[in-house]
Amino acid sequence: MKVTKLAVLAVAAATVGGISAVSTSGGTAAPPAPQAAVNPGQFSAPQQNPYFPLKPGAVSRYRGSEDGHLYRERVVVTGRTKRIQGVATTVVSDIVRRADGSVAEKTHDWYAPDNDGNVWYFGEATATYDRRGHLQSREGSWRAGRDGAVAGKIMPADPRPTLAYRQEYYRRHAEDQAWIVQRNASTTVPYGHLDHVVRSLEWTRLEKPVVSLKLYAPGLGIVRERDMSGGDESFVLVSVRHR
């Protein structure tokens, strides 16, 4: 936990482009919301980002745990698109199942790379379910351009320390932020040993005690994530295949 505390305090001291990411009091001093207007022209010749690839047909499988329960996650980059604010976003399906096979959470995320290779996050339709398949909540769902929600960046074109940015913004519902802390790291997950990995710390003002570490590998995207403070969620990449 000492590492986490020092990391969070470091974020507090780091100001990127005039944005203070986290306060030393433990609360988050959020950067200003991104501009609400999206220029579709910025997405006319999209460039793939190696740390967040969106190749249709890619199927990534993860395994993980939270609060003593085991989970399996399947993420599929579909061939479908959804037009949001004039931009053709890629629909990514994300399904989390419990150990007994029941669906715990089902999400459709909407992403789009711009002409420079920044990957933008335009929203999500998410739902959680109980073990009997009954809908519990759609909390966290949002769409850029509706009810004040604003698209954010899920991965910058050149992710380098100490870049801080909003990943999403729908006030009081979706306010994830990220801070790049290392590039060219290495890690080993069930999928294999990986180099040139980007490490980031990610958090939200809506869950102030929670700070998560995420690792992104070129050509794969997220390969490992775990809560460093405020929680015990942990997931690792197991396999990737292309349809």
107: left (phi over 0), alpha (psi -120 to 50) or beta: beta
Which helix (H) or strand (E) segment holds residue 76: the answer is: strand 69-84
The three-state secondary structure class of 220 is coil
Q: CA–CA separation, 122 vs 86, rounded Å? A: 11
Please choose, from the candidates 74, 66, 120, 123, the residue with its C-alpha nearest in 3D space to the C-alpha of residue 97: 74
Q: For residue 117, give the DSSP letter.
A: S
Alpha carbons within 13 A on the beta-carbon side of 168? 25
Query: Can you list the residues of the chain whose pLDDT is less than 70?
Result: 1-37
Please choose, from the candidates 213, 243, 209, the residue with its C-alpha nearest in 3D space to the C-alpha of residue 226: 213
Asked if 211 and 199 touch (Cβ cutoff 8 Å), the reply is: no
Amino acid at 115: N
Alpha carbons within 13 A on the beta-carbon side of 243? 11
Q: What angle do CA 188, 191, 192 make, to 5 degrees?
A: 45
Q: CA–CA separation, 104 vs 84, rounded Å? A: 27
Query: What's the pLDDT tens digit per position in 90-144?
Result: 999 999 999 999 999 999 999 999 999 999 999 999 999 999 999 999 999 999 9
